[in-house]
Amino acid sequence: MQQRRLGTQGPMVSALGLGCMGMSEFYGPSDDAQSLRTLARALELDVTLFDTADTYGLGHNEQLLGRFIAEGGPVRRQRMVLATKFGIVREAGRYERRIDNSPAYIQAACEASLRRLGVEQIDLYYCHRRDPAVPIEDVVGAMARLVAEGKVAAIGLSEVSQQTLRRAHAVHPIAAVQSEYSLWSREPEQGMLAACAEQGTAFVAYSPLGRAFLTATVAADQLAENDFRRHNPRFIGEAEAHNRRLVAALGEFAKARGWSNAQIALAWLLNKHPHVIPIPGTRRIAYLESNVAAADITLTAGEIAELDHLFDAAAIAGERYPEAGFAGVER
């Protein structure tokens, strides 16, 4: 597995991480036993970056990772780089959320995450979403105090603007920015990727497979009733039909080279940018193994350009979130 660094002074991590959200919520029913087996297989495959948040399953996802760590002991913990987040506050059974960036909340949220994870230190702690009413200097100041207390090793931001990143970095080094980035979500190319490279900040790409749409293995009408993708604009009606034609073209590109859609989508990210770390999520070992194989794919400049053209931002139909999902996202 390739290695990439979290920030200029952060740890080296696997070039592909594992997004753990779907093991607890949003993508239909999950099974803890299955998820634990997938986590174990990820470590066997030298995946070292594991991404969670306090809002995923309202704490369940952190508890699941905590159980996994406890069952493996100190050796397992030493091999893992744990990333979690604060800032999204939700009620059980509801997608709508409010954002809390107050320093007191940050301190309390961190301590709660440490308890659920069962660890003494969080390796990478993100502000999950921004409350514009709280100056970013105050947010990062509170996070920097957690670093000084030894509760956090490095800090990151999620779905922020370039301006916010630069202001934050002036207070304390930002090891990583996490935002959605994939063939069909190209917004980070409008300056954020360059800003991260300029400051030595890693860019962690979540939903690098377009919430599995790019894999050509899902259809909205076949999703579980509690799967939030049923309400995602890109999975609905004419937008879905339009986007499916793009995915079919991706399939032809991938098949001609002996790879899957998912592997090409991940290889595109890894080959384009040396500081990008995709974190595809899955509950299934077979998909995990397939994703990890993408780290060995080399794409030519011509192939990257062909994919860039196929998934030009103007060619994508629908917003990447329903309106409620944009709470705290700096656009």
pLDDT in tens, 211-264: 989 998 887 777 777 777 878 888 888 988 899 999 999 999 999 999 999 999
**Which two tokens mark 1?**
């597995």
Q: What is the mean pLDDT of residues 109-115?
A: 98
Residue 302 within a domain: no
Rg (CA), the chain: 19
Q: How confident is the model at residue 225, as a pLDDT?
A: 75
Residue 306 within a domain: no
Report the share of the chain in percent with pLDDT over 90. Answer: 80
**Which residues span the domain enclosing 122?**
3-209+272-297
Q: 126 phi and psi, to 5 degrees?
A: -100, 145
Which pTM was predicted? 0.93
The DSSP-derived string for 121-160 is -EEEEEE-S--TTS-HHHHHHHHHHHHHTTSEEEEEEES-
Residue 276 within a domain: yes
CA–CA distance, 294 with 280 (Å, rounded to integer): 11
Total domains present in the chain: 1
73: left (phi over 0), alpha (psi -120 to 50) or beta: left
pLDDT band at 30 (very low <50, low <70, confident <90, very high): confident
Residue 174 within a domain: yes
Residue 78 within a domain: yes
Residues involved in catalysis: 56
CB 240 within 8 A of CB 234: yes
Q: How confident is the model at residue 78, as a pLDDT?
A: 96
Residue 116 within a domain: yes
Residue 314 within a domain: no
CA–CA distance, 56 with 277 (Å, rounded to integer): 20
Q: What is the domain-level CATH number for residue 187?
A: 3.20.20.100
Q: Is 6 helix (H, G, I), strand (E, B) or coil?
A: coil
Least confident of 64-68, 113-117, 232-236: 232-236
Residue 324 within a domain: no
The pLDDT of residue 188 is above 70: yes
CA–CA distance, 203 with 159 (Å, rounded to integer): 11
CB 306 within 8 A of CB 264: no
The DSSP-derived string for 183-249 is TTB-GGGTTHHHHHHHHT-EEEEESTTTTTGGGT---GGGS-TT-GGGG-GGGSHHHHHHHHHHHHH
